[in-house]
Structure 1
Amino acid sequence: MNLLKMTRIVLWSFFGVRRGAAHQADMAEVKLPLLPFVAVALATGFGATLFALARLAVNVAH
């Protein structure tokens, strides 16, 4: 459950729209040393997805 909560926190930070009270409540409950690893993993997955979609679009066009 903690990993799911950290994933939710990172995804909300990617969008940049979050109320301060909800952010503070989440930060009080989560283990901060693991949060950067979750953020890097999600960013890498997002980048890999965009890269795969771009390659697919280029291959379909040719």
Structure 2
Amino acid sequence: MRAAPVSTREDTAPLDAEWQSIHRRRAALARADRFTSHLMSYAAGIATMAIIQGVALIASRLN
């Protein structure tokens, strides 16, 4: 039986760089996803307040 070759740091450097690149891209996507989620929550809150104020305005005009 032959022994498995021992990989050196030079052998794995391209793979390490690729994994780091993938990790950076995934982290950037996660940050963008959180930002989008917060932005949508903020927009939903503003829309809800606008609807409540619109209903209150209509109710005050009817009385």
Q: Rg: which structure is higher?
A: 2
Identity across the alignment (%): 6
1:5-60 per-position Cα deviation (integer Å, ceiling 9, x unaligned): xxxxxxxxxxxxxxxxxxxxxx85x7112111001000000000000000000000
Equivalent residue number for residue 13 of structure 2: 32
**Runs of 4+, deviation exceeding 2 Å:** none
Question: Are residue 59 (structure 1) and residue 59 (structure 2) matched?
Answer: no
Q: Partner of 1:31: helix, strand, or coil?
A: helix
Larger relative contact order (Cα-Cα within 8 Å, sequence gap ≥ 6): 1
Gaps in structure 2 of 5+ consecutive residues? 1-7, 44-63
